[in-house]
């Protein structure tokens, strides 16, 4: 993660740098913004990545028990 003072940079430089590493912008040594590059992602990916509801859903799903592939196939075949 790169840290830059707001008076020592511009938006274009921060956006360009953020494509390879997050950039923390500071004012007087205190963080005031975080720039994260999203080049190569589509609008839906960026919206989901910023959605608290989406990450809560992912977290809940990860806590659910899993089954192996052969068990899944048997379950689907029995339908």
Residue 27 has pLDDT above 90, yes or no: yes
**39-52: average pLDDT:** 92
| Token pair 């910023």 in the structure block, residue | 50
* Cβ(2)–Cβ(23) below 8 Å: yes
pLDDT at 37: 94
Q: Which domain holds residue 60?
A: 2-77
Measured over the CA atoms of residue 22, residue 27, residue 33 and residue 38, the dihedral's sign is negative
Strand ranges in the chain using DSSP code E only, listed in sequence order: 2-5, 23-27, 30-35
**48-53: average pLDDT:** 91
Look up the pTM and report it: 0.64
pLDDT at 49: 87
**Total domains present in the chain:** 1
**4-23: average pLDDT:** 95
* Cβ(49)–Cβ(36) below 8 Å: no
- Spatial distance between the Cα atoms of 17 and 8, rounded to a whole number of angstroms: 14
């Amino acid at each position: 993660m790169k840290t830059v003072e707001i008076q020592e940079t511009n938006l274009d430089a921060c956006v360009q740098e953020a494509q390879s590493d997050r950039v923390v912008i500071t004012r007087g040594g205190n963080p005031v913004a975080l720039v994260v590059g999203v080049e190569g992602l589509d609008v839906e990916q960026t919206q989901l990545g910023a959605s608290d509801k989406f990450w809560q859903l992912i977290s809940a799903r990860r806590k659910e028990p899993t089954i192996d592939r052969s068990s899944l196939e048997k379950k689907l075949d029995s339908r």
